[in-house]
């Protein structure tokens, strides 16, 4: 089978390798679609993410969908949760598998290869059946939607709140939609890229602005009559967005940090956060959200189809990654031959 491995930054190579053989409790899945995530782009551009570095040729891809081709579930269309928690540690037992001390994660560079290969074996417990109404491409975006759902959960949104979403890549744009569903009365969205600002406006942001190193904070505060926002989400992986999220939050508000900074360091003005008594939360992937994500897409409550702007065949993976790195569109999908 064809397998795509990252050897060095920007150096993707196809390999011919044997197809995996599923063990007990696993399924063999023929891949149909893999979505390129922002964290994949960190690996592609920098050869690592945070403290994890490239130590071997790595198969990227953790937003994935396909069809089971073995066992009792053969022929089932599925979305794949990239996280494999142990189920036994303290955090798993507490209901927080995203903090699992033995967590394995697809394409994380350490132990588990991701979905950019024609077949993958994966634990049955981490595979979710898809309704026919959801395409494979849409299913590959469910993981990103799951991160958005978990982030909104951490913000404890209530009906009538004002919300700021700073960073309108695919996750941020889905969070704009989720905030509307949660009953937010006023949604602010910002991004450096004008096409993303326009997309945020289409998806329901009441005020969509081009980010300008925090200079937009004054306009945002003026729109709230200088009260500030009830909850703010930083989804850009950029310290300027973190500063804006803190500057525009009202006293006592929550600031939820979703983005992953390329320099592995987050900073903000301490006096702003201290004097306002802000609660700052970091997002660690997601937990227990796949069924909710599937229902939201199935019922048409979240539009993931419009997030997908570019589709490439698996054979053109290098071009797909370059396109995603250029950030000309929104979400880039790699599709496999049926």
Tell me the mean pLDDT in the region 166-187: 98
Same domain, 216 and 169: yes
Contact between residue 300 and residue 273 where contact means Cβ atoms under 8 Å apart: no
Residues 19 and 55 in one domain: yes
Can you tell me which residue has the tokens 């994890």?
A: 52
Is 119 in the same domain as 232? Answer: no
Condensed to tens digits (0 to 9), the pLDDT of residues 71-107 reads 999 999 999 999 999 999 999 999 999 999 999 999 9
115 and 167 part of one domain: no
Mean pLDDT rounded to a whole number for the chain: 96
Q: Which of 52-61, 122-131, 137-146 has the lowest mean pLDDT?
A: 52-61
Number of domain units in the chain = 2
Exposure letters 247-262 (e unless 16+ CB within 10 A, then b)? bbbbeebbbbbbbbbe
DSSP 18: P
What's residue 109's pLDDT?
A: 67
Pairing of strands 207-210, 186-191: parallel
Question: Over pLDDT 90: what percentage of the chain?
Answer: 92
Assess whether 106 and 191 both reside in one domain. no
Q: CATH number of the domain that 253 lies in?
A: 3.40.50.720
Specify whether 157 is located in the same domain as 128.
no
The pLDDT of residue 105: 94
- pLDDT (tens digit per residue) in 231-284: 999 999 999 999 999 999 999 999 999 999 888 899 999 999 999 999 999 999
- The arithmetic mean of pLDDT across residues 297-315, rounded, is 97
What pLDDT does residue 338 have?
Answer: 74
Closest CA to 31 of 113, 130, 116: 116
Please report whether residue 210 resides in a domain.
yes
Q: What is the pLDDT of residue 264?
A: 86
Q: Where is pLDDT greater, at 55 or 130?
A: 130
What was the pLDDT predicted at 328?
85
How high is the pLDDT of residue 311? Answer: 97
Instruction: Give me the percent of the chain exceeding a pLDDT of 70.
Output: 99
* Same domain? 98 vs 162: no
Asked whether residue 127 falls in the same domain as residue 255, the answer is: no
Average pLDDT of the segment spanning 140-159: 98
Residues 124, 33, single domain; the answer is yes
25 and 97 co-located in one domain = yes
Show the 3-state SS of 104-168: EECCCCCCCCCCCECEEEEEHHHEEECCCCCCHHHHCCHHHHHHHHHHHHHHCCCCCCEEEEECC
The radius of gyration computed from the CA coordinates of the chain, to the nearest angstrom, equals 20
- CATH number reported for the structural domain that contains residue 323 in this entry: 3.90.180.10
What pLDDT, on the 0 to 100 scale, is given for residue 50?
Answer: 81
Q: How far, in whole angstroms, is CA 173 from its chain's centroid?
A: 11
Whether pLDDT at 220 is above 70: yes
Q: Looking at per-residue confidence, does 55 or 14 come out higher?
A: 14
> Which residue range(s) make up the domain with 218?
148-282
CA distances from 4 to 19, 38, 78, 144, 240 (A): 13, 18, 21, 22, 35
Look at residue 259 and tell me if it is in a domain: yes
Whether residue 180 is found in the same domain as residue 104 = no
Q: What is the pLDDT of residues 21-63, one digit of tens each?
A: 999 999 999 999 999 999 999 999 999 888 888 989 999 999 9
Pairwise CA distance, residues 107 & 36, whole Å: 11
- Inside any domain, residue 290: no
What is the pLDDT at residue 51? 83
- Other beta carbons less than 10 A from residue 182's beta carbon: 19
């Amino acid at each position: 089978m064809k397998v795509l491995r990252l050897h060095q930054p920007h150096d993707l190579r196809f390999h011919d390798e044997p197809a995996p053989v599923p063990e007990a409790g696993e399924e063999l899945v023929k891949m149909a679609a893999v979505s390129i995530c922002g964290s994949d782009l960190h690996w592609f551009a920098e050869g690592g993410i945070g403290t994890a570095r490239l130590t071997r040729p790595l198969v990227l891809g953790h937003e994935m969908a396909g069809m089971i081709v073995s066992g009792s579930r053969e022929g089932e269309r599925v979305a794949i949760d990239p996280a494999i928690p142990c189920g036994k540690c303290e955090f798993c037992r507490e209901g927080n598998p995203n903090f699992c001390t033995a967590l394995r994660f697809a394409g994380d560079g350490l132990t588990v290869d991701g979905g950019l290969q024609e077949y993958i074996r994966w634990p049955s417990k981490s595979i979710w059946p898809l309704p026919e109404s959801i395409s494979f491409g849409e299913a590959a975006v469910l993981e990103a939607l799951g991160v958005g759902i978990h982030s909104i959960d951490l913000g404890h949104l209530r009906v009538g709140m004002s919300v700021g979403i700073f960073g309108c890549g695919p996750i941020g744009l889905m969070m704009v939609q989720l905030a509307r569903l949660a009953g937010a009365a006023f949604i602010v969205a910002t991004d450096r890229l004008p096409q993303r600002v326009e997309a945020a406006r289409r998806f329901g942001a009441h005020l969509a602005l081009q980010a300008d190193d925090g200079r937009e904070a004054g306009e945002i505060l003026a729109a709230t009559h200088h009260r500030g926002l009830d909850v703010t989400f930083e989804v850009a992986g950029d310290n300027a967005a973190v500063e804006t999220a803190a500057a525009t939050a009202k006293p006592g508000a929550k600031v939820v940090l979703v983005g992953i900074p390329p320099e592995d360091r987050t900073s903000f003005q301490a006096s702003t956060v201290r004097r306002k008594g802000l609660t700052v939360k970091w997002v660690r992937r997601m937990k227990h959200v796949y069924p909710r994500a599937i229902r939201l897409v199935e019922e048409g409550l979240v539009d993931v189809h419009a997030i997908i702007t570019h589709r490439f065949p698996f054979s053109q993976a290098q071009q797909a990654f370059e396109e995603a790195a250029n950030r000309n569109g929104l979400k880039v999908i790699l599709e496999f031959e049926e």
